[in-house]
Structure 1
């Protein structure tokens, strides 16, 4: 986690810096917006910008957009400056952090930005086999393709491989190919020269150069436009990149790890992914099983998240009751580890006794984990799957396809607390398609949760 802090508030930002560093962030500091922009262009990079609310935040965000620098911005200032806080959010800041800084709030913001838990908890034999293969190939220079359903922990495994590699002391840089618009992704990856397009006021180093010497993670590479895939293939093959608007190739030394929640072989057949690029990326394939296929990990992860969120929220650590454990093991977890983490976070907040009881294991709308479908559990997996399919089909009879699609999208967004990128991954659609659907629903007067909220929470 790389944090760039812009401005100074009589030592208050210094305190925030110390807190962030204690939480594992590497921190850079810039006194002015111009200095911050030079830092971001230079390739030193940041995963989050935290800016003094008294500075012209609109200017910073406009400059980032014009120069195609994709990084979230949060504002911070004295707690009583409500007008400045509102102005910062309207200018485009994602969050407002009141000062003096609160350690738990800083931790929550950093956790939200990094999105995935960085802790690798493994107990199940199926996942241990994947980890054994990761250990075996981590020290090589081979490109690695990590596949698996959304929420299984692909980025966590990628970071594990980097930590086990000879490049561990060099940068680990992640690019979410699904979250960055197509017209920005090329500049994000390869950088640009001054004057390459409107707003390119200076040379900017891209993620390839930023990661040089280390590891570049191309997260959800299946979402990359096929035209950009050709340029990526050349960069991987020749270890040379061309900045947008540049005329001179730039050498880079990186190890590529890519992730996908889709079957890339099918994407090749459909013409959406280059076969030669797949061969370059898929030297070694680490396929992460879904959480339902590694049941021994469920309770280990649940206990880990229980300890984590009890500490973050300043609450007593409670063990899971026997009934709660049975509920967790019986659930299907379509959102995998990410869904389990959200469920346990919620359970930590809802639990009231000396244990986390079954009554606290709820979906975002307050329903039991099985939802509205009751399925007798067979000992035969095939029979159990058939029973589930039949029960789900019966529950949908009488509803239109549009209604089912709308409820699925909104319920998934609720489950992800408004995080559109995570919801799109779980739904198996592009972020652009999800945004278009949500715009349609809002136009119809349907409540759509903002990032960090749910419809239940805002009702």
Structure 2
């Protein structure tokens, strides 16, 4: 993590800086808010700023916003009273660190605010296969496209690739293409020269130059405007960029990673994504499976989040009860790892006993996790379906094996066609065509049972 310290380095602040460095931060320093904005504008880059609370934090944030620079701020100060700390928070600081410093407090605040301390938690074999491929391609400079549903951890994989690469000691810069308005994204990526447009009061270094020597992550690349896609393609091909309003190209040495939660092949067919850009980005594709496809990771991730938020909230780290663990395992987690993390954060706050029980684990609407879900696609459900379908396979034809697998899976799903198709990994249309063939051949096909939609 890159930390920019703003203020005079007196004894206590200097001690805090040393503690931050020991926690893994790469620290730079300026004395004034004007110098801080200038450093960020010039491409020095920071993931977090630690600012003396006696400085005008509100003015610093306003100056950065005017330059389209967004870096979270942690205020700090010696002997600050509650009013001073509250004023810093109201001005826009995310947290307040009192000085003299405490090493554990500094480490936890830096990790929480910067949000780049996200270890890779993997126990499921499906996810282990993804990590094995990531390990294989990480040392190269090949562009990698990371795909998967929202919340599966695509950025965590991107950071893992960077950490395993030859550029690990160089910057890792992430740009969320979906969060930045179209008219601002070009300047954000490529920078601009003074006077390039109204409000461009000075040269601004973009993310391409800021990432020079390191890795640039283009998060949710599918949301990028078609015109900008053409400029991005040239930058990737030529390894040089043009600042907005610039007169000569600037050479860059970066590795490109990109993520998407959409089907980019379909986006190409729909005419909203350039096919040549897809080929440039998709040298290697890493598909991150949904959490329901890697049930072995659920409890390991849940326990990690319980520990993380117990520390963050200053409460005892309590184990999950047996019933809580069972319900976590059968929930489908449509919001994936992000939903699980939020659920465990709530559970840490709501739990009051010696264990975190099932009543403390709540869905976003406040409802508890279901006691049972007959359609949940868990490891247990999949193994039961596979066990039933694998009986007496030896000596049968492939067609007969396929028929038995489909019928047994459908029985397991109480006749629900949609859930059976999901477990089998085929489309609902394919499943219906197969069932039509079986019915016409006189094979008994399970009908939807009470409470199970035919879908």
TM over 0.5: yes
Show the counterpart of 1:146. 146
Matching of residue 335 in structure 1 with residue 305 in structure 2: no
In structure 2, the gaps of 5 or more residues are 386-408, 420-455
Calculate the aligned-residue CA RMSD, in Å. 2.9
The answer as to whether partners of 2:153 and 2:337 remain within 8 angstroms in 1 is yes
Distance 1:339 1:60, change over 3 A: same
Show the counterpart of 2:452. none
Count of matched residue pairs: 386
Matching of residue 376 in structure 1 with residue 374 in structure 2: yes
The answer as to whether partners of 1:152 and 1:337 remain within 8 angstroms in 2 is yes
Q: Distance in 2 between matches of 1:75 and 1:367?
A: 37
Matching of residue 80 in structure 1 with residue 81 in structure 2: yes
Q: Distance in 1 between matches of 2:217 and 2:416?
A: 40
Q: Distance in 2 between matches of 1:159 and 1:320?
A: 29
* Aligned partner of residue 217 in structure 2, secondary structure: strand
Show the counterpart of 2:426. none
- Tell me the CA shift for residue 227 of structure 1: 1.7
Show the counterpart of 1:30. 30
Matching of residue 232 in structure 1 with residue 232 in structure 2: yes
TM-score with structure 2 setting the length: 0.76
Task: Name whichever of 159-168 and 68-77 sits farther off.
Answer: 68-77
Show the counterpart of 2:41. 41
Q: Distance in 2 between matches of 1:69 and 1:206?
A: 10
Deviations 1:87-132 (A, max 9, x none): x5565x2535152356666555534444465200111111111111
Deviations 1:230-284 (A, max 9, x none): 1111100100101111111011111101011111122222222221111110110
- Tell me the CA shift for residue 178 of structure 1: 1.9
The answer as to whether partners of 1:7 and 1:31 remain within 8 angstroms in 2 is yes
- Tell me the CA shift for residue 369 of structure 1: 1.9
Task: Please say which structure displays the higher CA radius of gyration.
Answer: 2
In structure 1, the gaps of 5 or more residues are 391-459
Q: Distance in 2 between matches of 1:20 and 1:205?
A: 26
Show the counterpart of 1:220. 220
Q: Distance in 1 between matches of 2:335 and 2:171?
A: 29
Distance 1:234 1:8, change over 3 A: same
Show the counterpart of 1:432. none
TM-score with structure 1 setting the length: 0.76
The answer as to whether partners of 2:323 and 2:357 remain within 8 angstroms in 1 is yes
Deviations 1:144-187 (A, max 9, x none): 00011111111111111112222222222111222222232212
Distance 1:94 1:268, change over 3 A: farther
Task: Name whichever of 242-251 and 379-388 sits farther off.
Answer: 379-388
Show the counterpart of 1:182. 182
